[in-house]
């Protein structure tokens, strides 16, 4: 029988709440892991201690911390601090995006992040047409330049689809590049992909529950390594409006996602 993917509550599901609230919601809703947003100017040693205490009783792991947003020029030293926070809370991955139009510059900064991470934590580069790393092929080429075992490639279904990528492109990736993946659904393309504002609006407000849209999620699951952890990155205004309570929102998303995955597992059995 196909293996079940562990699911994590992504920090973007609860953007208006603190990391502590996100951690409690993940525990309450029975997720297998949680993702945490790290704001360098606001995260303190006390935040680390509180998060670790919240997660300790349930032994809930942290799948990722975010976000390291690379800019043109030298590496921002605060980005190393995000890795340190991730290490302190036991995170498996750090999510990275880049606004540096120079791929070599992105690769150099990723290499520095990987060197700082060592063998403790993966550095996962996410691509999307709203960033300077727009496609899965471009991301893979940059990571080939980095050539470090900590480097990983993060696939988000909506960004894969909007950038013209396919599950076949994911299946062609070296398996060691895939530490985890994001998961969500989306409707048919209803805007001009050259409209950056519309792209971002869909990404932060317009995602759909798995199975509610048209993305080839079943094929994507088949293209990923078996039982790869999934960060349920479902930023949705409808979800926020329908479930203002963080625990209720997290629980509704967990039910919908696990129901979808169970149907996929049954279909593949």
Residues 15-57 pLDDT 10s: 999 999 999 999 999 999 999 999 999 999 999 999 999 999 8
| pTM to 2 decimal places | 0.96
Question: What Rg do the C-alpha atoms of the chain give, in angstroms?
Answer: 17
The angle subtended at Cα 54 by Cα 48 and Cα 57, nearest 5°, is 130
Query: For 241-262, what is the mean pLDDT?
Result: 98
CB atoms within 10 A of CB 103: 16
Residues 232 and 5 sit within 8 Å (Cβ to Cβ): no
Query: For 152-163, what is the mean pLDDT?
Result: 98
Query: For 56-77, what is the mean pLDDT?
Result: 97
Beta bridge partners of 24: none
In a domain, 236, yes or no: yes
| Count of domains observed in the chain | 1
Task: Reduce the DSSP state of residue 103 to 3 states and report it.
Answer: helix
Residue with the larger pLDDT of the pair 222 and 4: 222
Residues 79-101 pLDDT 10s: 999 999 999 999 999 999 999 99
Confidence of residue 1 (pLDDT cuts 50, 70, 90): very low
pLDDT at 115: 98
Judged against a pLDDT cut of 60, whether residue 269 lies above it is answered with no
In a domain, 126, yes or no: yes
Residue with the larger pLDDT of the pair 243 and 2: 243
In a domain, 215, yes or no: yes
pLDDT at 267: 67
In a domain, 80, yes or no: yes
pLDDT at 266: 76
CATH of the domain at 42: 3.20.20.150
Judged against a pLDDT cut of 70, whether residue 268 lies above it is answered with no
In a domain, 1, yes or no: no
pLDDT at 134: 98
Q: Counting beta carbons within 10 angstroms of the beta carbon of residue 41, is it exposed (0 to 12), middle (13 to 18) or buried (19 or more)?
A: exposed
Alpha helix locations (H) across 147-216? 157-162, 167-171, 196-205
In a domain, 45, yes or no: yes
In a domain, 92, yes or no: yes
CB atoms within 10 A of CB 172: 12
What average pLDDT does the chain have? 96
Residues 133 and 127 sit within 8 Å (Cβ to Cβ): yes
Whole-angstrom Cα distance, residue 188 to residue 165? 15
In a domain, 2, yes or no: no
Whole-angstrom Cα distance, residue 66 to residue 124? 10
For residue 169, the enclosing domain spans 7-268
pLDDT at 3: 64
Query: For 118-137, what is the mean pLDDT?
Result: 97
């Amino acid at each position: 029988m196909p293996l079940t993917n562990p699911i994590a509550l992504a920090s973007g599901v609860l953007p208006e709440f603190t990391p502590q609230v996100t951690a409690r919601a993940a525990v309450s809703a029975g997720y297998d892991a949680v993702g945490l947003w790290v704001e360098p100017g606001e995260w303190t040693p006390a935040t680390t201690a509180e998060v670790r205490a919240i997660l300790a009783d349930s032994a809930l792991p942290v799948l990722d911390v975010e976000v390291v947003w690379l800019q043109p020029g030298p590496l921002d030293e605060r980005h190393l601090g995000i890795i340190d926070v991730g290490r302190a809370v036991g995170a498996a991955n750090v999510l990275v995006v880049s606004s540096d139009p120079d791929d070599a510059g992105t690769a150099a900064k990723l290499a520095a992040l990987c060197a700082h991470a060592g063998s403790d934590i993966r550095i996962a580069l996410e691509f999307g047409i709203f960033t300077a790393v727009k496609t899965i092929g471009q991301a893979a080429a940059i990571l080939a330049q980095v050539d470090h075992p900590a480097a990983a490639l993060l696939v988000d279904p909506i960004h894969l689809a909007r950038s013209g990528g396919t599950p076949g492109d994911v299946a062609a990736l070296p398996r060691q590049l895939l530490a985890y993946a994001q998961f969500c659904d989306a409707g048919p393309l209803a805007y001009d992909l050259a409209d950056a504002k519309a792209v971002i609006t869909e990404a932060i407000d317009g995602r759909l529950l798995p199975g509610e849209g048209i993305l080839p999620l079943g094929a994507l699951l088949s293209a990923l390594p078996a039982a790869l952890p999934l960060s349920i990155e479902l930023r949705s205004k409808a979800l926020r409006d329908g479930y203002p309570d963080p625990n209720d929102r997290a629980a509704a998303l967990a039910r919908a996602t696990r129901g979808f995955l169970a149907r996929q597992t049954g279909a593949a059995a």
